Chain A
């Protein structure tokens, strides 16, 4: 069981938008920055969002991040079949003194 809770799966049609939630506590999301990673099948994870809402260079603005209290959300608009992947949130947990990942969310673009 992960410290951060994500839905196991989400789905939407091409061109639509989807939100992936990441729920934590005051010791992790509530007091530290959140980052998001995309893992395409058979590949290494890729940084999508850091510092709650910042995109590294090269990441399209279809991807966005937000945080409110002890929850964070990854938003993806204009869904493409190439967005089908597993998505992970992560943050530092001050109580555990450890980096923690969510359990991951599988995105299906129908």
Chain B
């Protein structure tokens, strides 16, 4: 069965960086993109971008462009999302999901990133 398993919760100070991983299993990693979505406490879903599973092409949301880097290790079927220059408003649950344009059919369990000084 398809599974996306994310890394554990993180706490960072403002200005630091965080890297969240998303390990996929149960399907051919190269055949699907991985999309990252975040959700601030009590708020709605916010699309952050995607990385293609085959060629590593990326597309980032304008809001995080310049601070986010999405990568993928096809040898371990793992996608990574690194967010730098963290601010308090980056505190959120970060989700990875399989798919690229709306067909986000499988989701990771979420990784809570807390930014505070």
B-contacting residues of A (Cβ < 8 Å)? 2, 32-35, 37, 39, 44-47, 50-51, 56, 86, 88, 90-92, 96-104
- Per DSSP, chain B at the interface is loop
Task: Name the distance in Å between A21's Cβ and chain B's nearest Cβ.
Answer: 16
> With A50-B103, A92-B101 as given contacts, are A101 and B108 in contact (CB-CB < 8 Å)?
no
Which residues from B are CB-within-8-Å of A34? 102
Size class of the B contact interface (CB-based, 8 Å): 20 to 34
Given the complex of chains A and B, what is the CA–CA distance between A99 and B110 in angstroms? 19
> With A44-B95, A44-B108, A45-B95 as given contacts, are A37 and B45 in contact (CB-CB < 8 Å)?
yes
Given the complex of chains A and B, what is the CA–CA distance between A50 and B103 in angstroms? 6
> With A45-B95, A98-B61, A99-B35 as given contacts, are A104 and B104 in contact (CB-CB < 8 Å)?
no
A-contacting residues of B (Cβ < 8 Å)? 35, 37, 44-47, 59, 61-62, 95, 97, 101-105, 107-110
> With A88-B45, A101-B46 as given contacts, are A35 and B103 in contact (CB-CB < 8 Å)?
yes
> With A37-B45, A98-B62, A101-B45 as given contacts, are A92 and B102 in contact (CB-CB < 8 Å)?
yes
- Per DSSP, chain A at the interface is strand
Which residues from A are CB-within-8-Å of B109? 44
